[in-house]
Structure 1
């Protein structure tokens, strides 16, 4: 059972994953520049941990476990604020990113290339 505030939990619209967890998309953004860093997934417990510890915590869909950004790499995300979007299905996590946000070593996960239509 999660300790997420019931008032917050009631506002979330979750997408089920293979484990049966309800997930919301979590967009991490550099707090002072607005740079979009990465997209992760959170369930109620990951969001609770993020809000209470000040460290961005995500649910890994591939590993089926929680991970705190930076625990392995040292590239920590210090949380400044968390906002819920108008639909309740995405959170914006405003962070102070230490080092690279992407697992490839890039500052942002959105450096892979511009798509043209």
Structure 2
């Protein structure tokens, strides 16, 4: 499966149908081809348009206040395979081809902590040392 870029005027028409929140954002869940949920991030109109038109996944970083092209600093890119909008048009599901790991902790998925009667339990160990991704463990 390979993403076929969406062009105008269809691109604008599709993005106009999205229900962005009060901050102009929509949540975007990224899953791999096997359906494993990798992460949740946010997109604004510009990030969604770029993603749909290029096939390279772009999010909006709330902490940095700017576009965040997944993998731009770590090399752990996401390439779009499919995109779906939920019934309320306020959440995206992206099927992506993940290059490397998705999580800034060096794990394949951001969802590695189980809530158990004993507290949080790590389900996986990092695949890559976060310092090798960003030079620090606090980057995202």
TM-score norm. by structure 2 comes to: 0.72
Q: Which residue of 1 aligns with 2:5?
A: none
Q: Residue 53 of structure 1 aligns with which residue?
A: 54
The CA deviation at 1:12 is 1.2
Spell out, residue by residue over 1:37-91, the C-alpha distance to the aligned partner (whole angstroms, 9 max, x if none).
0001001110000011111100001110101101111111011011111110011
Deviations for 1:9-40, whole angstroms, at most 9, x for unmatched residues? 332111123xxxx1000000002x10000001
Residue 16 of structure 1 pairs with residue 22 of structure 2:
yes
Seen in structure 2, the aligned counterparts of structure 1 residues 52 and 6 have a Cα distance that, compared at 3 Å, is closer
Corresponding residue number in structure 1 for 2:77: 76
Q: Taking CA–CA contacts closer than 8 Å with sequence separation of 6 or more, which of the two structures ends up with the larger relative contact order? A: 1
C-alpha separation in 1, matches of 2:110 and 2:27 = 15
Q: In the alignment, what sits opposite 1:98? A: 99
Q: Distance in 1 between matches of 2:58 and 2:116?
A: 29
Q: What TM-score do you get using the length of structure 1 for normalisation? A: 0.86
Q: Which has the larger radius of gyration?
A: 2
Distance, in Å, in 2 between the alignment partners of 1:63 and 1:16 is: 18
SS in 1 for 2:100: coil
Structure 1 consecutive aligned stretches of length 4 or more whose deviation exceeds 4 Å: none
Secondary structure of 1:50's counterpart equals: helix
Aligned length: 109
Task: Give unmatched runs, 5+ long, in structure 2.
Answer: 1-7, 118-140
Aligned-pair Cα RMSD in Å: 1.6
In structure 1, the residue matched to 2:29 is 27
The SS at the match of 1:16 is coil
Q: Which 5+ residue runs of structure 1 have no aligned equivalent?
A: none
